[in-house]
Amino acid sequence: MKYIDEFRDGELAKNLAASIGATVEPGRNYSFMEFCGGHTHAISRYGLSDLLPPTVRMVHGPGCPVCVLPIGRVDMAIDLALNHGVILCTYGDTLRVPASDGLSLMKAKARGGDIRMVYSTLDALQIARDNPAREVVFFAIGFETTTPPTAVAIQQAEAEGLANFSALCCHVLTPSAISNILESPEVRQWGTVPLDGFIGPAHVSTVIGSRPYEFFAEEYRKPVVIAGFEPLDVMQAILMLVRQVNEGRAEVENEFSRAVSRDGNLKAQDCVAEVFELRREFEWRGLSVVPYSALKIRQKYAAFDAERRFDLEYRSVPDHNACDCGAILRGVKKPQDCKLFGTVCTPENPIGSCMVSSEGACAAHYSYGRYKDMH
């Protein structure tokens, strides 16, 4: 597969590993956060940590939209399916997220909810066309990569007069999450994290460009290297971060230059701006309430906003007392530090957000790496 296989070459990996080993300064520790769940997945799936020197530590960040989706929002989706009789269309990732009353979307389906997994908003629009007598709601989750497809779907529904289609908008924004990690009152509670730099998200950046990260680099003096998703991309980005730290630089570098530009995809950005606007605040699971971090549908498209259409109220649902997800999402604790990890909290029975999606720090460690804890 072109542009995939070449970026997974094991021989080049060995050499990059050697380069990183040769570039780290002896006696110096490096702590980098890979913000994006896709990078967490790549690191676990390819066993990248085995190829890094022990002084380089990767901290898994909150860039997994399923992990940060509050239980209360899943409850709204379940409510729509069970109590309003809608056809609820959702991406596969959300189906097993545990919500209130022992339910999940999968369990609500077993109770009779018409919940359908879709690959794309295009499929949801088709379901709306095929079922004119039913209400069809699309459960719209995701960061800036996944937001433009929802925007297009809403515009398309408007153009076609597809009156039975609406979206439950839970789209969230990356830069706000990064700020939140770097400066928030709770960080004092858990202790600051000496993060030396960030691996910037790959596909979010194709949409928003590299420009938004320049603020973090300047304001917080932390280097950011935007990396592609393949394991060689991640290793290259780590090498570039180590170099920046050694040289005392704090710049935005773009390793994923084959797909990311400084400005990003302006057409997609315009589309999003036409349909959505900022919410004043939004609750993130594990990070609590973050200002200007999420989107809602604009008044002009109110007819396609499921929250307005069905008069839904958001009720916040707190996490389990002993759940350490908040600290883990900020990189202050590791999955193994949580009392519930691997015992009560497992991928089959996830208690908190980090275990719910295969991208979450706890799920990734459990599925791919926990053998290391034993040896």
Interacting residues with another protein between 19 and 58 (CB under 8 A):
19, 22, 36-38, 41, 44-51
The strand pair at 281-284 and 288-291 is best described as: antiparallel
Q: Which amino acid is at 145?
A: T
Per rule CB under 8 A, count of chain residues that contact another protein: 89
CA–CA separation, 77 and 88 (whole Å) = 7
User: What is the footprint of another protein within residues 293-332 (CB under 8 A)?
Assistant: none
Q: Which residue has the tokens 């770097």?
A: 182
Residue from 70, 98, 113, 148 binding another protein (CB under 8 A): 148
Among 90-98, 187-195, 311-319, 336-344, which window interacts with another protein (CB under 8 A)? 90-98
> Is 161 among the residues that bind another protein (CB under 8 A)?
no
Which residue in the set 211, 258, 262, 320 belongs to the binding site for another protein (CB under 8 A)?
258
Nearer to another protein, 36 or 309 (CB): 36
User: What is the smallest separation between the CB atom of 8 and another protein, expressed in angstroms?
Assistant: 6
Report in angstroms how near the CB of residue 215 gets to another protein at its nearest. 21
Contact status: 13 vs another protein (CB under 8 A):
yes
Per rule CB under 8 A, is residue 159 in the interface with another protein? no
Alpha carbon distance 79, 36 (integer Å): 30
Among the residue ranges 117-125, 290-298, 304-312, 323-331, the one whose residues contact another protein (CB under 8 A): 117-125
Measured from the CB atom, is 226 or 312 closer to another protein? 226
**Is 146 one of the binding residues for another protein (CB under 8 A)?**
yes
Q: Which stretch binds another protein (CB under 8 A): 141-149, 163-171, 178-186, 293-301?
A: 141-149
How far apart are the C-alpha atoms of 116 and 205, rounded to whole Å?
29
CB neighbours (10 Å) of residue 106?
A: 15
Give the range of 17-25, 107-115, 293-301, 337-345 binding another protein by CB under 8 A. 17-25
Question: Which residues lie below 8 Å from residue 4, measured CB to CB, with a gap of 6+?
Answer: 230
Q: Are 216 and 222 in contact (CB under 8 A)?
A: yes
